[in-house]
Amino acid sequence: MLECTPALLKTFEALKEVPDDQLQWLIDRSDCREIPDGEKLFEPGKSIDFTNFIIGGRLRMYFYLGGVKREVGDSEPGDITGYLPYSRGKVSTGFGVAVGNLQIMTFPKSKMRELIKEHFELTRALVHVMTNRVREFTAIQQQNEKMMALGKLSAGLAHELNNPASAIVRDSESLLKHLQMEPDTFKSVIAIRMDPEQVDAVTKEVFRIMSNYEEPQLSLRERTAREDELTDLLDELEVENGMDVAENFVEFGFTPEDVRSFKTHIPAEYLSPVFNWINTALVTEKMVQDIREASKRIAELVVSVKTFTHMDRGQDKQYSDIHTGIKNTFTMLGYRVKKQGIKIVKELDMGLPPVKILIGELNQVWTNLIDNAIDALEGVPDATLTIKTQKDREFAKVSIIDNGPGIPEEIVSRIFEPFFTTKDIGKGTGMGLEMVHRIVVDQHRGSIKVNSEPGHTEFVVCIPING
Is 331:153 a contact under the CB 8 Å cutoff?
no
Is 262:221 a contact under the CB 8 Å cutoff?
no
Please measure the distance between the N-terminal and C-terminal CA atoms of the chain and give it in whole angstroms.
64
Model confidence at 35, pLDDT cuts 50, 70, 90, reads very high
Q: What is the pLDDT of residues 126-135, one digit of tens each?
A: 998 888 776 6
Q: What is the pLDDT of residues 234-250, one digit of tens each?
A: 888 888 888 988 888 88
What is the number of helices (H) and of strands (E) in the chain? 13, 13
Range with lowest mean pLDDT among 330-334, 390-394, 453-457: 330-334
- The pLDDT of residue 94 is above 80: yes
- The pLDDT of residue 22 is above 50: yes
Q: What is the pLDDT of residues 203-222, one digit of tens each?
A: 777 777 666 656 667 778 88
- The pLDDT of residue 141 is above 80: no
**Percent with pLDDT over 90 in the chain:** 37
User: What count of Cα atoms within 13 Å lies in the side-chain half-sphere of residue 319?
Assistant: 5
Q: What is the pLDDT of residues 362-378, one digit of tens each?
A: 888 898 899 889 989 99
Model confidence at 93, pLDDT cuts 50, 70, 90, reads confident
Task: Report, as an integer, the average pLDDT of 35-50.
Answer: 92
Phi-psi region of 63 (alpha: psi -120 to 50; beta: other; left: phi over 0): beta
- The pLDDT of residue 185 is above 90: no
- The pLDDT of residue 296 is above 80: no
> What SS3 class is residue 378?
coil
d(CA 444, CA 326): 17
pLDDT at residue 429, rounded to an integer: 39
Model confidence at 289, pLDDT cuts 50, 70, 90, reads confident
Model confidence at 426, pLDDT cuts 50, 70, 90, reads very low
Instruction: Provide the whole-model pTM.
Output: 0.46
pLDDT at residue 178, rounded to an integer: 64
Element (H, E) at 232: helix 220-236
- Cα distances from 283 to residues 55, 175, 217, 248, in angstroms, run 78, 9, 19, 7
- Mean pLDDT (the chain, rounded): 82
> What SS3 class is residue 346?
strand
pLDDT at residue 315, rounded to an integer: 59
Model confidence at 425, pLDDT cuts 50, 70, 90, reads very low
Model confidence at 274, pLDDT cuts 50, 70, 90, reads confident
pLDDT at residue 221, rounded to an integer: 85
Of residues 407 and 185, more confidently modeled:
407
- The pLDDT of residue 421 is above 70: no
Model confidence at 422, pLDDT cuts 50, 70, 90, reads low
pLDDT at residue 307, rounded to an integer: 59
Q: What is the pLDDT of residues 332-355, one digit of tens each?
A: 787 788 888 999 999 999 999 999
